[in-house]
Amino acid sequence: MHDRLTTRRLFLQAAAALPAIATSPAQAAPDKNPELLSPLEFGLDPKLTYFNTASAGLTPKRVLDRTIEAWQKLETDPVPMAYYSGPGTVVSAADEVRGKAARLIGCEADEILLTRGTTDGITTLSSSIRLRAGDRVLLSDQEHEGGEVGWLHRERRDGILVDRVNIPIGDHDTSAITGRFADAVRPGTRVICVSHVLSPTGLRMPIAEIAAMARSRNILCVVDGAQAVGGLPVDVRALGCHAYATSGHKWLIGPKGTGFVYVSRDAGELIDPPQWLLGRNFGSNSAGLGPLTLMVGLGQAIDDLAAVGLARVEAHNVRLRNRFYSGLSKISDLRLVSPPPGLSATALVAAELPQRIDSKVMRERMRDRHGVIVKMAEKRWFNGIRFSPHIYNDEHQVDTAIAALRAELGNFST
Ligand SMILES: Cc1ncc(COP(=O)(O)O)c(C=O)c1O
C-alpha cells in the first residue's frame, strides 16, 4: 500500500524541495489528491482526524523547527539579534516576512503590518481610522467576534454607530447580498467591514463588488480574511479593498499567534496604524519588540505553501469539501447551510443538526468516540457542525468523518 509511512518518507525527502514538487506535472494533476502533507508530519495526536483548520491549522514540524532555530539564535546575543537590522539578525529575518506576505496577497512589503492574528489586525485597523461620534460602520450579521470587537469597542467608547446587513444562514445569493450592502449605506457610513469567507458557512463573499460599491461612495472597505489566506489565492489589488486582515495560524498553518494586515497605499492617512509612526519595519521603535521567532516560522509556512501553489491547495480543499457536501446531503437528518459546489464554495462546509441534538454534545461524541475533530457552529447562528479540510486531509478521512456522524445521528434517534 502507498501508505502513510511512504507518504511520510516522501514528504521528509521532499520537504526541502517543495518547489520541485509543486511544478511536477504528475503531482499537479487536478484530479489527484496531492497528499503533500501527511498528518505524520505534524504533532497531532495520531488517534485524531482533524477537520478544524478554520479554528486553528496544524503547524508542520518543519515550521516549528525553523521557529525554534530562530529562537536559539536570538538567545545567543539577544539585543543585536532582536534590535539590529542587517544581515543575519533575527529581527531582519522577521522583517523579511512582510515581503513574503506581500508577495502572497499581491501588494508591497510596506503595505504589510505583522500582527498576532485577525482579531489583532481588525482591532488595529478600527483604531487607526479617524471616526467621530455618529459616524457609521457597516458589518454583516455573520461576522466573527474577531472582526467585530474593535468596532464595538469604538461604539462604546467614541459613540460611532454599528449597522448590520442581514445574511440569513443558507442564503448564497451573492448579488442580492451586494445589493443589500448598497441599500444599507446611510449618509454617515464611513467604513464597511466584512469577511472574505463567512466563518459559519464558508460562503465566499462578493468582496470585489462590495469594495467597488464602497469606493464609489467614498467609504473605506476593510476585509476580515481569516478564512481565506492560505486556503485560496488572494489578490488584494484585484479585490480593491482598502485594508485586509488575516491570521497566520489557520489556513497558512503558521505558528499560533501570528497574522498580518494589508493597508493599501491609496488609503493614505485615512488608515494610520500607530505601529507605523516611526517606521514600517517589524521591530521599528513604534512597534516595539514583537514575537520575532513566531514571525520567522510564519515566513517558512508562507514559503512552503506558496511553493505548493495556492490554486492547487484550493483545488484539493474544495475537492474534499465537495465530498463532504455530497456525503452530508445524503443524510436526511441534516440541513446543509453551506453553498453547493461552485464559485461561492470554499473549504468550509457546515450542516444544521435536528433540534433534538445538541451540537456541543455531537462535537464531543465525534471527538471522544471517533477521534474526529469538528467545530460546533456558534448557537447564535444555528445548531450545527462545521468541517474545514486542508492539505493534510484526504478522501478516506472525509469518509471516516461522515460515517462517524451517521453513526452518532443513529445513536441519538434510538
Ligand atoms: C472570520 C473570522 N475572523 C476572525 C477570527 C479570529 O481570528 P484570530 O484568532 O486570528 O484572531 C476568526 C476565527 O475563527 C474568523 O473565523
Cβ 179 vs Cβ 152: under 8 Å: no
- So what's the pLDDT on residue 37? 63
User: What is the residue type of 35?
Assistant: E
Q: Give me the pLDDT at residue 378, please.
A: 86
Q: For the residues of 319-339, what is the DSSP string, one character each?
A: HHHHHHHHHHHT-TT-EE-SP
Q: Which of 199, 244, 261, 346 to mutate to test the pocket of ligand 1 (most atoms within 8 A of CB)?
A: 199
Per-residue pLDDT, 40: 65
pLDDT of residue 161: 98
Test site for ligand 1: of 59, 196, 250, most ligand atoms within 8 A of the Cβ: 250
Q: What is the pLDDT of residues 179-223, one digit of tens each?
A: 999 999 999 999 999 999 999 999 999 999 999 999 999 999 999
* Average pLDDT over every residue of 318-345: 97
Mutate to test the pocket of ligand 1, among 124, 141, 227, 298 (most ligand atoms within 8 A of CB): 227
Cβ of residue 53 lying under 6 Å from some atom of ligand 1: no
Atom in ligand 1 nearest the alpha carbon of residue 248: 10
pLDDT tens digits, one per residue of 342-352? 999 999 999 99
Distance 322 CA to ligand 1 centre (A): 23
Torsion of CA 120, 125, 127, 133, to 10 degrees: -130
pLDDT band for position 268 (cuts 50, 70, 90): confident
Of 298, 379, 378, 391, the C-alpha closest to 347 is: 391
For range 299-326, the mean pLDDT: 96
300 pLDDT band, cuts 50/70/90, is very high
- Residue type at 75 in one-letter notation: E
Quick one: average pLDDT of 39-68?
93
Query: Using a 6 Å cutoff on CB, does residue 205 contact ligand 1?
Result: no
The alpha carbon of residue 326 and the mean position of all alpha carbons in its chain are separated, in whole angstroms, by 24
Q: What is the mean pLDDT of residues 15-36?
A: 36
CA nearest neighbour of 314 among 337, 348, 339, 338: 348
d(CA 317, CA 323): 10
Which of the listed residues 114, 144, 145 should we mutate to test ligand 1's pocket, taking the one with most ligand atoms within 8 A of CB?
A: 144
195 lines ligand 1 (CB under 6 A): yes
Mean pLDDT of 275-281: 97
pTM attached to this predicted model: 0.92
Helices (H), 280-332: 292-308, 310-329
- pLDDT tens, residue by residue, 372-414: 999 999 888 999 999 999 999 999 999 999 999 999 999 886 4
The Å distance, Cα 305 to ligand 1 centre, comes to 20
pLDDT class of 84 with cuts at 50, 70, 90: very high
Query: 55: Cβ below 6 Å to ligand 1?
Result: yes
Please tell me if the CB atom of residue 225 comes closer than 6 angstroms to any atom of ligand 1.
Answer: no
Mean pLDDT for the stretch of residues 121-140: 98
Q: From the CB of 140, is ligand 1 less than 6 Å away?
A: no
Residues 100-110: tens digit of each pLDDT: 999 999 999 99
Cβ–ligand 1 distance for 256 under 6 Å, the answer no
For ligand 1, the distance from its centroid to the CA atom of residue 14, given in whole angstroms, is 32
